[in-house]
């Protein structure tokens, strides 16, 4: 199917999850093994406890709504499960201990692992609470972390080819959009940004991006080194990233995100090239996820030091980083925020 040119795409107003997406199919229910498998349209959920169809539908709604949102944004993302998967996979853990025992980070509400392509989340993070011998959905919980991590999951094919600031900035962007009961208010992005900024400032963070060039060209190792040094440093990286993504989506140039859309289209081209490569019979896949190929048929560049930065020139569009920094300062000033960036 032909893709719309960047200039002809528009930002959606509301994104509502289709009813058919959250129809639940029971695949397996094995109490002895603590294994209960359910499917929605795009996801397969393996739960440690039996969940009523109505409850599972509520859980699936956030997953399917986030997939619908990412697909509807003019970024042009094609949400396709990882190679070899019919659906995206999620594991739901009854307790936080079960979750951390399965590799979930201590202070996290949910995590998507690119290594095995599985989303792990404890029941409390999806608003599940025990009532007697069954579980019910608590609609008062905050699903922000969930939306952030699901965004990573449905954009998995893109992550090899995106700088970390785009990967995290787009997930922060979707997380800050107003969301309720399967409906994203995508047209309320400026309100979402404003609320997010005020919340971050309340927590002691400043509107300081520092060196724009350093942030936009930071590789994964450098990012991880900074993020792992402290929660504050990690928070700064995420905050800077969403400020940059928001600028390129809504404040840059024609204010329609055209440069960012063209950048994401180029990244889409890389994902298609990789998909084509993996489908080629010359590529042999092993059970542990590794693959081999003939010397005269190499894969697209997947080096984390080069692949994510291949198309940054589409964002720069002939401008220096210092010029873009000046444009960012002016654009944020126009919507009422004083940011620092150089």
Question: Mean per-residue pLDDT for 160-176?
Answer: 97
- The reported pLDDT for the residue numbered 288 is 74
Give the domain ranges of the chain: 1-159, 163-177+188-342
pLDDT of 334 over the 90 cut: yes
Q: H or E segment at 237?
A: helix 231-246
In terms of phi and psi (left: phi > 0; alpha: psi -120 to 50; beta: otherwise), the region of 76 is: left
CATH 1.10.3470 correct for 1-159: no
- Condensed to tens digits (0 to 9), the pLDDT of residues 8-43 reads 899 999 999 999 999 999 999 999 999 999 999 999
- The reported pLDDT for the residue numbered 93 is 96
- Percent of residues, the chain, with pLDDT higher than 90: 82
pLDDT of 95 over the 90 cut: yes
pLDDT of 108 over the 70 cut: yes
Burial of 110 (0-12, 13-18, 19+ CB in 10 A): buried
Mean per-residue pLDDT over the chain, rounded: 94
pLDDT of 48 over the 90 cut: yes
140 confidence band (pLDDT: 50, 70, 90):
low
In terms of phi and psi (left: phi > 0; alpha: psi -120 to 50; beta: otherwise), the region of 289 is: left
Question: Mean per-residue pLDDT for 252-260?
Answer: 96
The reply to whether the predicted model has a pTM over 0.85 is yes
Coil vs helix vs strand at 26: strand
- The reported pLDDT for the residue numbered 142 is 67
- The reported pLDDT for the residue numbered 126 is 87
- Condensed to tens digits (0 to 9), the pLDDT of residues 58-92 reads 889 999 999 999 999 999 999 999 888 999 999 99
DSSP string, 124-168: GGGTEEEETTEEEE-TTS--HHHHHHHHHHHTHHHHTTS-HHHHH
pLDDT of 182 over the 80 cut: yes
Look-up of token digits 């047209």: 187
Question: Mean per-residue pLDDT for 159-168?
Answer: 97
């Amino acid at each position: 199917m032909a893709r719309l040119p960047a200039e002809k795409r528009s930002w959606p107003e509301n994104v509502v999850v289709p009813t058919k997406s959250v129809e639940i199919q029971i695949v397996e229910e094995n109490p002895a093994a603590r294994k209960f498998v359910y499917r929605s349209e795009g996801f397969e959920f393996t739960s440690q406890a039996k969940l009523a169809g109505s409850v599972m539908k509520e859980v699936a709604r956030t997953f399917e709504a986030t997939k619908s949102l990412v697909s509807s944004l003019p970024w042009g993302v094609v949400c396709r499960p990882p190679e070899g998967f019919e659906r995206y996979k999620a594991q739901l853990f009854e307790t936080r201990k079960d979750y951390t025992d399965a590799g979930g980070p201590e202070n996290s509400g949910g995590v998507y692992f690119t290594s095995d392509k599985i989303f792990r989340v404890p029941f409390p993070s999806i608003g599940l609470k025990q009532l007697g011998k069954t579980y019910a959905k608590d609609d008062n919980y905050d699903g922000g972390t969930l939306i952030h991590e699901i965004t990573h999951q449905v954009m998995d094919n893109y992550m090899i080819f995106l700088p970390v600031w785009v990967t995290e900035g787009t997930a922060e962007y979707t997380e800050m959009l107003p969301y309720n009961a399967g409906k994203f208010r995508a047209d309320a992005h400026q309100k979402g940004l404003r609320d997010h900024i005020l919340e971050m400032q309340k927590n002691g963070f400043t509107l300081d991006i520092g060196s724009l060039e350093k942030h936009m060209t930071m590789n994964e190792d450098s990012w991880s080194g900074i993020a792992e040094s402290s929660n504050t440093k990690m928070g700064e990286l995420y905050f800077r990233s969403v400020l940059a993504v928001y600028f390129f989506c809504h404040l840059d140039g024609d204010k329609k995100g055209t440069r960012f859309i063209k950048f994401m289209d180029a990244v889409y081209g890389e994902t298609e090239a990789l998909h084509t490569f993996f489908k080629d019979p010359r590529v042999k896949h092993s059970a542990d996820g590794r693959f081999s190929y003939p010397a005269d048929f190499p894969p697209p560049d997947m080096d984390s030091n080069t692949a994510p930065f291949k198309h940054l020139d589409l964002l720069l569009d002939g401008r220096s980083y210092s010029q873009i920094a000046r444009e960012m300062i002016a654009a944020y000033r126009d919507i009422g925020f004083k940011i620092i960036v150089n």
